[in-house]
């Protein structure tokens, strides 16, 4: 029961935050609503028993991506123009509405139980009190797990950091 209430509150807040990001004219307020939306998504992870991901969501999205976006807004100084719509925004709304209708139809009509989804996951599906961190760690670093993608992700992060520095460095300055 408490989980239901939490889900509905978090779902409504995340949708409102996402709409505010798109519709607000003030870019800085849009960025703050985006960070608020990241928090609500972390709460939704918590309702799905994904404790590790809820913490990582706050660390990576709120801590890193949010600060990066606010710095980008500060440096580009576009706040006086605000975040405007372009010429094709009616078409974009039409397209998004059609896509939303198609996606909701697909999501609700597909027989997920036939794929092995359980309607009510047992509370003891995960070892009580241990959380998911151990399982994620095992899946990531096991010999038969995702150890190669982990290494590639590390190389990609290094490439992204180097690329960011190279792209942003001022070549004209001597």
**Which residues from 62-101 bind other proteins, rule CB under 8 A?**
64-65, 68-69, 71-73, 75-76, 78, 81-86, 88-89, 91-93, 95-97, 99-100
Q: Is 18 exposed, middle or buried (0-12, 13-18, 19+ CB in 10 A)?
A: middle
147 binds other proteins (CB under 8 A): no
Q: Minimum distance between the CB of residue 42 and other proteins, rounded to whole angstroms?
A: 10
Instruction: Give 141-163 as a DSSP string.
Output: HSTTTTHHHHHHHHHHHHHHHHH
Segment 13 to 42, residues that bind other proteins, using CB under 8 A:
14-15, 18-19, 21-22, 27, 30-31, 34, 37-38, 41
Half-sphere exposure of 153 (CA within 13 A, CB side): 7
Phi-psi category of residue 117: left, alpha or beta, with phi > 0 → left and psi -120 to 50 → alpha? beta
114 binds other proteins (CB under 8 A): no
Q: Minimum distance between the CB of residue 94 and other proteins, rounded to whole angstroms?
A: 10
């Amino acid at each position: 029961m408490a989980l239901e209430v939490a889900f509905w509150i978090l779902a409504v807040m995340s949708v409102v935050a996402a709409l505010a990001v798109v519709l607000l004219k003030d870019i800085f307020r849009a960025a703050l609503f985006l960070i608020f939306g990241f928090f609500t998504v972390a709460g939704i992870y918590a309702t799905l028993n994904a404790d590790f991901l809820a913490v990582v969501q706050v660390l990576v999205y709120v801590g890193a991506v949010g600060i990066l976006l606010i710095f980008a807004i500060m440096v580009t100084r576009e706040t006086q123009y605000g975040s405007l719509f372009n010429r094709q925004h009616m078409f974009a709304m039409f397209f998004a509405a059609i896509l939303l209708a198609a996606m909701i139809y697909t999501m609700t009509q597909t027989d997920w139980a036939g794929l092995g989804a359980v309607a009510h996951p047992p509370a003891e599906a995960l070892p009580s009190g241990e959380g998911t961190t151990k399982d994620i760690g095992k899946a990531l670093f096991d010999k038969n797990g995702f150890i190669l993608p982990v290494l590639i992700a590390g190389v990609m992060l290094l490439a992204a950091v180097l690329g960011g520095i190279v792209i942003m460095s001022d070549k004209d300055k001597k």
